[in-house]
Amino acid sequence: MSWIVLVASGILEAVWATALGKSEGLTRLWPTVVFFIGLTASMFGLAFAMRDIATGTAYAVWVGIGAALTIVWAMITGDTEISWLRILLLMGLVGCIVGLKLIEPGLE
């Protein structure tokens, strides 16, 4: 269950990071609202997951999922250029996230 919550929290990290960028310095109402809701839910999920998953592993997975999805979303929406090098680096990041899950003791 902790891993499912951690992945969901990582997805919410991408949501709040994207909303923060769209809020124009927290001056636009709806992106700011999405930012605060996403941030709060993401942090609570991370805290929940860290009860069963080592802090370093949980944090690295959370940040990695959030970063990867934020970049993928930016490429989909045209905010960031799509390149083979960027895709290759994202694949490496995802591979590292999966690797951290695989080596975590006490797999659920």
d(CA 91, CA 36): 29
Place of tokens 């999966």: 98
Residue 108 above 60 pLDDT?
A: no
pTM of the full structure: 0.90
Task: Note the pLDDT tens digit of each residue in 11-61.
Answer: 999 999 999 999 999 999 999 999 999 999 999 999 999 999 999 999 999
CA-wise closest residue to 71 among 9, 32, 108, 17: 17
Spans of all domains in the chain: 2-103
Mean pLDDT of the chain: 94
d(CA 93, CA 88): 9
Mean pLDDT of 70-77: 97
Local confidence band at 103 (pLDDT 50, 70, 90 cut-offs): confident
Place of tokens 């951690």: 6
Amino acid at 67: A
d(CA 95, CA 108): 19
